[in-house]
Amino acid sequence: MIVREMYHNPVLLNESIEGLNIRDGGTYVDATYGGGGHTKRILEELKHGRVIAFDQDIDALENITQDPKLNVIHANFRYMTEQLRAKGITKVDGILADLGISSHQIDTPGRGFSIRFDAPLDMRMNNQGARTAADIVNTYPVARLQKMFSLYGEITNAANLARTIERTRSAKHIRTTGDLIEAIKDCTPPHSPNRYLAQVFQSLRIELNEEIDALKDMLRQSETLLDKGGRLVVIAYHSLEDRLVKNFMRTGNFEGVPQKNMYGHDLRPFEPVTKKPVVPNEEEIENNNRARSAKMRIAEKL
């Protein structure tokens, strides 16, 4: 069994719970259960009410907080509406999503998320899925690899990286994290190898798990699911994710283009609560280095 406290250290815990503006008796969604840290704090604020939590990683379900107000669903948050309706829930009072990867996932060698371990090139957040990161590395055309590394990793030499991978895989199948690191060593800058490799691994993880499409699905559903005055709280760790969240909260679309009615009034489903993203303080970053890139945005349903 995986001890919940060791599974994941929740980022911006106090700030996110405050941002939800929890009302006793309400229904709240934790879209990314993980180690249950955020869920536990929501439950502490509720004498009455309920929390519906989602996680696609079966490992996260091994340490469910025992509370009659909690229901944890093994599913990606992109299926939030479908799963909630199956339980007779059509409106909720708050949705919290802590995006990205859990400490457990990155610290478990066999999952293949980390550059620290030589392990199968897996990276499935839902470890029951069929495709792995190795499948992407060994089958994607060069142009698609280049686009993936450029968009999701903001890698400046993405074209050279993609061609290097193609040359390597034509001679030998890339099966492990160590195989990949060795294959791209000539592309890796000597002054910051770990940062570069982390960007490569991040690109593969986002692509494999369809994280951007899933985020868009969740945000669109939040517009319908949240009751008036309900709060949407999202913690992002990547500039692309944060930009999508910011645009959606401000305009109701991902392009950030204001929509107006025939009278010239803005048409938008949310009112941003925070003008700028909330970021961890120095003490939190010192205690949890993985919090350093976190940006939290909060919006209220109009």
User: Do residues 177 and 117 make contact, with C-beta atoms less than 8 angstroms apart?
Assistant: yes
Shared domain check, 91 and 138: no
Of 173, 208, 243, the position where a domain reaches its end is: 208
- Structural domain that includes position 200: 127-208
Question: Sheet of 270-272: strands edge to edge?
Answer: 70-73, 50-54, 27-30, 92-98, 226-236, 295-301, 270-272
Query: Do 82 and 22 have their domain in common?
Result: yes
pLDDT at 115: 94
Residues 6+ apart with CB under 8 A from 6: 35, 103, 104
* Structural domain includes residue 114: no
Q: Assess if residue 113 is contained within a domain.
A: no
| Cα–Cα distance for residue pair 168/175, rounded to 1 Å | 12
Determine the average pLDDT of the residues in 185-199.
Answer: 96
Domain count, the chain: 2
Last-in-domain residue among 183, 208, 233: 208
pLDDT in the model for residue 107: 87
Predicted pLDDT of residue 132: 97
Q: Which of 208, 231, 262 is the last residue of a domain?
A: 208
Residue type, 46: L
Question: What CATH number does residue 198 fall under?
Answer: 1.10.150.170
**Does 116 map to a domain?**
no
**Separation between Cα atoms, residue 52 and residue 74, nearest integer Å:** 11
Query: Minimal CA–CA distance to 89: which of 105, 100, 73, 107?
Result: 73
Read off the pLDDT of residues 34-63 as tens digits, 9 standing for 90 and up.
989 999 999 999 999 999 999 999 888 887
Based on the fold, state whether residues 217 and 188 are members of the same structural domain: no
**Are residues 243 and 203 part of one domain?**
no
Give yes or no for residue 200 having a pLDDT over 60.
yes
Same domain, yes or no: 204 and 216: no
Reported as a single tens digit per residue, the pLDDT across 243-277 is: 999 999 999 999 998 888 888 778 889 999 998 99
Please tell me the least confidently modeled range out of 32-36, 175-179, 180-184.
32-36
